[in-house]
């Protein structure tokens, strides 16, 4: 029935090329996910298969009326967002820098208040002053507007912590034909309620970003590692991505430096802005700090029972083989992780030969608790601290897993993002050459952290998380009596 509906929609689709490109790319997304993602073969997640088909039908219905680049973009984002999987993402090879806004940016502050966070021209009397509370717009509350006009196109899990991140999109027009642009809003300015018309004006993404940046502290680049407080070390890890030479060099330097921190009273791992990358770097840094035998002894029972299943397909097999080549190029042919991925590739090839296109579980690596060093002592005896913002996801969350399991560790800052149990993303270019898809190809079973479950800090920070000087002062003062 669903396929028949899709055919009928295609038959009456708009002749505009953006509509045809949207339909073609949506079909390619659906088919690539069906053939390569673990979700369609995952009996533990029937909702995934439901959205795969039902969401596809709705996205194709929308695509039939698309006449602009923005409509094409948001039709794809609608379909990708509905999976609520931060690793299953739709993106663009080219983007538009054009946008419209009412002359002020929206921010979500403490207590759940939506306020005017930044203003294009503070002297413009037609604009509400910064800090004004937005009560409603055309009769809809700000939260309702975000719920109806923003969240259906936001990729990733719908978390309480993410509402702050998406609030800024509330009154932005990026060409989404399904956005309801309000005509006026009511503002609480001091003790008075004032209704002002919204006069949208064209701008660019860069110009808008400059206005917003000028109104708040920005996260400035930090040295890889520096002394802080009373015998502490502050380690900045803004990313675990190692694709470019500078990032790779920085991560290698952290692994090299880690043994020098063993005499510190505390080590702060600052992962603000870190949204993932290669999770092996986090393991390498902690092994270099604590010693591999101790770290493995602590972690092994925490992850006991966890395993991975891979979705079997020809394209996924090629992706795993590419991983092997990449690891060997960066870390050498004898690297243990390269050998492990080679075993996975061989196992997937064997499953394909048996016509299995479902899930398969590779054999375990065979190491034992004794080999992990059951009696090993930690080489670092100080306190480890994890500082996060709400962007911590993917490999950053893997790093957070390890730190939360270390005795005496402290999590400070903001609640993290979250990720699904679907991992290991490979890129797929869609037929238009404009759209692209990030496609997970494996699924974790019995992971200690649940599906789309964030970490909530033991020491929450109420200020501007991007203001490093203030955050550092707060955290050092917090740690001093705990040493």
Structure confidence by residue, pLDDT tens digits, 192-227: 999 999 999 999 999 888 888 776 666 667 878 999
- Per-residue pLDDT band for 164 (boundaries 50, 70, 90) equals confident
Does residue 220 lie within any of the structural domains? no
pLDDT for residue 442? 97
Helix/strand/coil for 35:
helix
**Nearest partner of 289 among 254, 264, 261, 253, judged by Cα:** 261
Is 80 exceeded by the pLDDT of residue 2?
A: no
Give the residue from 214, 234, 269 where a domain finishes. 214
pLDDT for residue 111? 73
Strands (E), 266-355: 266-270, 307-311
Give the residue from 72, 92, 112 where a domain finishes. 92
Does residue 297 lie within any of the structural domains? yes
Same domain, 263 and 172: no
Sign of the C-alpha dihedral, residues 474, 476, 477, 479?
Answer: positive
Considering its fold, how many domains does the chain have in total?
3
Which tokens belong to 300? 């092994």
Same domain, 306 and 369: yes
pLDDT for residue 428? 96
pLDDT for residue 15? 55
* CATH code for position 242: 3.90.226
Q: Taking a C-beta distance cutoff of 8 angstroms, is the pair 471, 63 a contact?
A: no
Tell me the average pLDDT of the chain: 90
- Averaged pLDDT for residues 261-281: 95
Which tokens belong to 60? 């194709």
Same domain, 383 and 452: yes
| Containing structural domain, residue 12 | 2-92
Is 80 exceeded by the pLDDT of residue 11?
A: no
Same domain, 229 and 363: yes
Same domain, 88 and 141: no
- Per-residue pLDDT band for 461 (boundaries 50, 70, 90) equals very high
Q: Give the Cβ contact number of residue 180 at 10 Å.
A: 12
Does residue 436 lie within any of the structural domains? yes
pLDDT for residue 288? 97
Is 50 exceeded by the pLDDT of residue 253?
A: yes
Same domain, 151 and 46: no
Give pairs for 3-8: CB < 8 Å, separation 24+.
5/57, 5/60, 6/56, 6/57, 6/60
Is 60 exceeded by the pLDDT of residue 3?
A: no
pLDDT for residue 462? 87
DSSP string across 148-166: IIIGGG--S---GGGHHHH
Radius of gyration, CA atoms only, the chain: 24
DSSP string across 89-121: EEEESS---EEEE-SEEEEEETTTEEEEEEES-
Same domain, 379 and 360: yes
- Averaged pLDDT for residues 257-267: 97
* CATH code for position 126: 2.30.42.10
pLDDT for residue 14? 47
Q: HSE on the CB side for 79, CA within 13 Å?
A: 34
pLDDT for residue 374? 52
**Nearest partner of 62 among 25, 89, 99, judged by Cα:** 25
- Per-residue pLDDT band for 392 (boundaries 50, 70, 90) equals very high
**Torsion angle (degrees, nearest 10) of CA 117, 120, 123, 125:** -80
Helix/strand/coil for 437:
strand
Does residue 108 lie within any of the structural domains? yes
Same domain, 348 and 439: yes
- Which residues, at least 6 apart from 103, have a Cβ–Cβ distance to it below 8 Å? 119, 120, 121, 124, 126, 127, 199, 201
Does residue 274 lie within any of the structural domains? yes
**Nearest partner of 179 among 212, 153, 208, judged by Cα:** 153
- Averaged pLDDT for residues 224-249: 93
Same domain, 271 and 393: yes
Same domain, 205 and 246: no
Is 80 exceeded by the pLDDT of residue 365?
A: no
Is 90 exceeded by the pLDDT of residue 284?
A: yes
Same domain, 60 and 131: no
pLDDT for residue 217? 60
- Averaged pLDDT for residues 131-146: 96
- Averaged pLDDT for residues 144-155: 96
Among 74-83, 107-116, 177-186, the range scoring the smallest mean pLDDT is: 107-116
Same domain, 404 and 316: yes
- Per-residue pLDDT band for 315 (boundaries 50, 70, 90) equals very high
Give the residue from 66, 92, 118 where a domain finishes. 92
Specify the residue for token string 């060409």.
Answer: 175
Is 70 exceeded by the pLDDT of residue 439?
A: yes
């Amino acid at each position: 029935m669903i396929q028949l509906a899709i055919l009928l929609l295609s038959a009456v689709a708009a002749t505009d090329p953006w509509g045809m490109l949207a339909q073609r790319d949506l079909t390619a997304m659906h088919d690539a996910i069906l053939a390569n993602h673990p979700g369609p073969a995952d009996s533990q997640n029937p909702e995934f298969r439901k959205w795969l088909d039902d969401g596809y039908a709705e996205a194709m219905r929308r695509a039939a009326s698309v006449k602009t680049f923005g409509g094409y973009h948001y039709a794809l984002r609608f379909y990708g967002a509905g999976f609520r999987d931060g690793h299953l993402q739709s993106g663009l090879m080219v983007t538009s820098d054009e946008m419209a806004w009412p002359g002020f940016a929206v921010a979500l502050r403490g207590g759940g208040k939506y306020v005017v966070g930044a203003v294009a021209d503070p002297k413009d009397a037609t604009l509400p002053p910064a800090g004004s509370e937005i009560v409603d717009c055309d009769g809809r509350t700000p939260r309702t507007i975000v719920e109806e006009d923003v969240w259906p196109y936001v990729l990733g899990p719908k978390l309480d912590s993410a509402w702050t991140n998406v609030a800024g999109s509330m009154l932005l027009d990026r060409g989404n034909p399904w956005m309801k642009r309000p005509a006026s809003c009511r503002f609480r300015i001091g003790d008075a309620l004032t209704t002002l018309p919204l006069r949208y004006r064209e701008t660019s993404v860069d110009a808008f970003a400059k206005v917003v940046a000028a109104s708040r502290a920005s996260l400035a680049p930090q040295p890889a590692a520096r002394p802080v407080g009373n015998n502490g070390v502050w380690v900045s890890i803004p990313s675990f991505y190692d694709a470019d030479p500078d990032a790779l060099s920085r991560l290698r330097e952290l692994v090299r430096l880690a043994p020098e921190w063993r005499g510190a009273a505390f080590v702060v791992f600052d992962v603000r802005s870190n949204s993932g990358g290669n999770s092996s770097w986090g393991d390498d840094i902690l092994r270099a700090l604590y010693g591999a035998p101790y770290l493995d002894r602590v972690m092994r029972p925490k992850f006991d029972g966890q395993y991975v299943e891979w979705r079997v397909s020809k394209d996924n097999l090629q992706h795993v083989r590419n991983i092997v080549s990449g690891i060997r190029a960066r870390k050498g042919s004898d690297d243990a992780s390269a050998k492990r991925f080679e075993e996975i590739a061989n196992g997937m090839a064997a499953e394909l030969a048996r016509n299995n296109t479902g899930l398969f579980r590779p054999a375990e690596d065979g190491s034992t608790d004794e080999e992990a060093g059951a009696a090993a002592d930690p080489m670092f005896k100080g306190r480890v601290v994890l500082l996060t913002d709400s962007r911590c996801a993917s490999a950053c969350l893997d790093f957070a897993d390890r730190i939360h399991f270390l005795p005496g560790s402290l999590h400070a800052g903001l609640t993290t993002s979250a990720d699904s149990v679907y991992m290991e993303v490979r890129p797929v270019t869609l037929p238009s050459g404009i759209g692209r898809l990030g496609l997970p190809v494996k699924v974790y079973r019995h992971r200690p952290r649940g599906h789309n479950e964030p970490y909530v800090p033991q020491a929450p920070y109420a200020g501007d998380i991007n203001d490093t000087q203030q955050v550092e002062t707060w955290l050092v003062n917090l740690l001093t009596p705990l040493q």
